[in-house]
């Protein structure tokens, strides 16, 4: 009887061992992935995002392990999903948490290293530090300047080589022009006449020659300015020194600040701890509007659930009545709002409620002589939002309640009628308790959805009308998610990404608590049934 080894076809690869072409292709793909990861990791480190670079390195090493170690073979099939989960979910969450504990925003976009580099790139011009200059040009269009100060010190400079003093007998110098005493050429650079200088003046004026501590710029046809480095960073003391005035600027809360309170701009991203979280409840300019938005968010979510469920349940009770004729037609008409995309329905309602020419206000003017300001009055704006949200949400509750009603055994109602229970008592004792068992988790889910229902707020009122005298862009109808959006992107007062991230953490904590409550309630209801 032939052995399994002898029965294997000659030249066929063993099970679990990839063929040479497959292994080569795998190594090439991994090399490409590793190269891209290295580039991204370097960019993250340059931007002071060390955490992102570490996460990226771990993901890359895991991918390499999945595809090179045969025992981890099954994991390679879920590797793309894991990668996307980390990149699209885990990393944004971690980055949001990190941002919430910093001052990242309009004046603090750059890292500290980037701000130091920018400040050290600034120069100032001392009085009397003017130079005379002559220009030299090479055949390929490069320029070199001959510079001389008021004490007769001479130097040559170019954007590539910087500034260097002139030494006698420099072998690069050509024959001396007896008219001005300057070399006719320096290496392959030819001296330009005055007419030629005018011809190339635009290009010459754009020349900036910089060395370690000085900078030369062309000021006029005859004069150049010698500037010195304005700021120098002392890493040991963590101080930015103003070389012009001698003032020290210490690092403080994302700025370099002097003793008199003046500060250098731009600022830099700095860790400030839980200040953004406490700011929402302690800063008097923020606390008022934030608490108002906080309360309205809960009220909006709760009232939206009550109105949509109440209307949906009422219609479900009517449509579930066996005596109702043409029930199919009524059911179809009742769920029409559910078939139209929400953003279209919202924009249609915005037009219908227009205070000037909307059909609703036209009818109200004709009937009662009133024209409500649906979008400028805070109370009416909230009423309009709740009304439109009820229109959008009741079909879902109708379908859920209708299905739950049809699952209740009819024997319970027959027994109740025999015992003398009327319709209201049957609803209180049988219909509603059994219905609640089925729909309670959905009601909690609807509350969580409306808690973050950004679409209706943004499309109907953009959070307005505005709340006067607030330190943050909080509108009368803003909920937490729209308030966060305005803080981060649309405030018109400068983006406050860090505070927006802190509010996002508060929203996350609330939604997480709702989710945990939902799970526990669902488990208890299952035990009751």
Report residue 231: phi and psi, to 5°: -125, 145
Mean pLDDT of 282-311: 90
pLDDT of residue 18: 65
* Average pLDDT value over all residues in the chain: 85
pLDDT of residue 128: 60
pLDDT of residue 6: 45
Q: For residues 401 and 407, what is the distance between their CA atoms, to the nearest angstrom?
A: 10
Percent of the chain topping pLDDT 70: 94
521 pLDDT tier (thresholds 50, 70, 90): confident
Mean pLDDT of 186-210: 89
Residues 6+ away with beta carbon under 8 Å from 17: 70
Are 472 and 290 in contact, with CB atoms under 8 Å apart?
yes
Residues 6+ away with beta carbon under 8 Å from 434: 404, 408
Q: For residues 482 and 487, what is the distance between their CA atoms, to the nearest angstrom?
A: 9
Mean pLDDT of 36-45: 84
492 pLDDT tier (thresholds 50, 70, 90): low
527 pLDDT higher than 70: no
Q: For residues 150 and 118, what is the distance between their CA atoms, to the nearest angstrom?
A: 31
Q: For residues 101 and 266, what is the distance between their CA atoms, to the nearest angstrom?
A: 20
| DSSP assignment of 114-141 | HHHHHHHT-EEEEEEEEEEEEEEE-TTS
pLDDT of residue 12: 45
1 pLDDT tier (thresholds 50, 70, 90): very low
Mean pLDDT of 239-258: 93
Q: For residues 197 and 137, what is the distance between their CA atoms, to the nearest angstrom?
A: 10
Mean pLDDT of 117-121: 89
Q: For residues 62 and 85, what is the distance between their CA atoms, to the nearest angstrom?
A: 14
pLDDT of residue 312: 92
Q: For residues 508 and 340, what is the distance between their CA atoms, to the nearest angstrom?
A: 30
| DSSP assignment of 475-521 | BTT--HHHHHHIIIII-SS---HHHHHHHHHHHHHHHHHHHHHHHHH
400 pLDDT higher than 80: yes
Cα distance between the two ends of the chain: 63
Name which residue leads in pLDDT, 390 or 29: 390
Residues 6+ away with beta carbon under 8 Å from 413: 426, 430
Residue-range domains of the chain with CATH: 18-100 (1.20.58), 111-122+236-273 (no CATH), 123-229 (2.40.430.10), 281-528 (1.10.3720.10)
Question: Residue 213 belongs to what H/E stretch?
Answer: none
pLDDT of residue 493: 53
41 pLDDT higher than 60: yes
5 pLDDT tier (thresholds 50, 70, 90): very low
Q: What pLDDT digit, counting tens, does each position of 128-179 carry?
A: 678 899 999 999 999 999 999 888 889 999 888 888 889 888 889 999 988 8
Residues 6+ away with beta carbon under 8 Å from 115: 256, 266, 267, 268
Neighbour count for residue 494 (Cβ, 10 Å): 9
Q: For residues 202 and 210, what is the distance between their CA atoms, to the nearest angstrom?
A: 19
Radius of gyration of the chain, Cα coordinates, nearest whole angstrom: 37
């Amino acid at each position: 009887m032939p052995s399994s080894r002898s029965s294997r076809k000659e030249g066929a690869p063993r099970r679990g061992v990839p063929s040479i072409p497959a292994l080569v292709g795998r190594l090439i793909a991994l090399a490409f992935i590793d190269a891209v990861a290295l580039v991204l990791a370097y960019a993250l480190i340059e931007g002071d995002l060390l955490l992102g670079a570490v996460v990226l390195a771990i993901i890359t090493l895991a991918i390499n392990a999945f595809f090179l170690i045969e025992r981890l073979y099954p994991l390679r099939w879920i590797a793309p999903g894991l990668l996307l989960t980390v990149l699209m979910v885990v990393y944004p969450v971690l980055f949001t948490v990190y941002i919430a504990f910093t001052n990242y925003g309009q004046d603090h976009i750059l890292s500290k290293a980037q701000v130091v580099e920018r400040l050290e790139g600034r120069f100032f011009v001392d009085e009397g530090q003017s130079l005379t200059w002559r220009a030299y040009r090479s055949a390929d269009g490069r320029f070199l300047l001959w510079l001389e100060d008021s004490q007769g010190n001479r130097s040559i400079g170019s954007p590539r080589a910087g500034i260097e003093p002139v030494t006698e007998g420099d072998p690069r110098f050509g024959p001396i022009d007896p008219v001005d005493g300057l070399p006719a050429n320096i290496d392959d650079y030819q001296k330009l006449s005055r007419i030629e200088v005018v011809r190339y003046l635009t290009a010459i004026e754009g020349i900036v020659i910089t060395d370690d501590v000085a900078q030369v710029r062309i000021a006029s046809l005859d004069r150049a300015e010698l500037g010195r480095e304005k700021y120098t960073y002392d890493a040991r003391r963590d101080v930015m020194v103003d070389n012009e005035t001698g003032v020290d600027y210490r690092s403080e809360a994302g700025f370099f600040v002097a003793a008199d309170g003046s500060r250098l701009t731009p600022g830099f991203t700095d860790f400030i701890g839980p200040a953004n979280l406490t700011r929402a409840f302690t800063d008097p300019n923020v606390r008022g509007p934030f608490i108002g938005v906080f309360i309205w968010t809960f009220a909006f979510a709760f009232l939206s659930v009550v109105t949509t469920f109440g209307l949906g349940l009422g219609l479900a009770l009517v449509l579930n009545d066996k005596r109702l004729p043409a029930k199919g037609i009524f059911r179809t008409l009742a769920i029409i709002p559910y078939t139209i995309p929400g953003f279209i329905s919202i924009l249609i309602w915005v037009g219908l409620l227009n205070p000037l020419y909307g059909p609703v206000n036209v009818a109200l003017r004709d009937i009662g002589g009133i024209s409500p300001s649906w979008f400028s009055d805070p109370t009416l704006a909230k009423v309009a939002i709740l009304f439109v949200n009820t229109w959008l949400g009741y079909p879902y509750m109708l379908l859920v309640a209708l299905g739950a009603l049809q699952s209740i055994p009819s024997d319970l109602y027959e027994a109740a009628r025999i015992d003398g229970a009327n319709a209201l008592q049957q609803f209180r004792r049988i219909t509603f308790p059994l219905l609640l068992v089925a729909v309670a988790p959905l009601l909690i889910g609807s509350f969580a959805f409306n808690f973050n229902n950004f679409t209706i707020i943004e499309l109907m009122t953009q959070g307005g009308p505005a709340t006067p005298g607030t330190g943050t862009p909080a509108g009368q109808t803003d909920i937490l998610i729209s308030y966060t959006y305005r803080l981060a992107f649309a405030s018109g007062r400068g983006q406050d990404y860090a505070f927006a991230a802190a509010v996002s953490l508060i929203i996350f904590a609330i939604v997480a608590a709702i989710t945990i409550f939902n799970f526990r309630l669902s488990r208890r209801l299952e035990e009751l049934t």
